[in-house]
Amino acid sequence: MIMEFKEQCIQALEEKKLFEESGHKTRFKELMDCYSDYPFFSRGLCKCMYLSAWDEEHFAIMLGILTELALGREKNTEEMRRQGEELAMEHMDGNSYIYQMSNAFLDGKKFELPQGTQIEPEFAYIIQKAQEAAEVIENI
């Protein structure tokens, strides 16, 4: 039996030890289980799911946006991208870069912090791990 993308993805991320703790994996798996069959699902969205599953706050935001997309029978993530731009502008800390990174994922682009950017170490760590996970997801 051919393993579905969803299972391959979770397994590959596990093998590279990219889940911070069990809650991170559980939240990611929940998003994948609920939304990977929708027409708006993409590798870029999958990368956003990994990033948002990092903590409860971002997970709740992602869940709300994905629920709206599903209920609106959306075919793409344009509305999600627009909300990401708004959220990036609302924050003046590392969260702004997290939302910018999410939008880069949705656009199918690599995310690089601007040269000389000073951000809190926890955000730098999350961004680094999300870049590693994005590479894994891209190669499935």
What predicted TM-score, i.e. pTM, was given to this entire model? 0.94
* Per-residue pLDDT, 52: 97
| pLDDT of 107 | 96
Note down pLDDT in tens along the chain; length 140 residues.
567 999 999 999 999 999 999 999 999 999 999 999 999 999 999 999 999 999 999 999 999 999 999 999 889 999 999 999 999 999 989 999 999 999 999 999 999 998 889 999 999 999 999 999 999 999 99
Residue 1 has a pLDDT of 52
Q: Whole domain around residue 113: which residue ranges?
A: 5-138
CA angle 64, 45, 17 (to 5 degrees): 105
Number of structural domains the chain divides into: 1
Question: What was the pLDDT predicted at 114?
Answer: 87
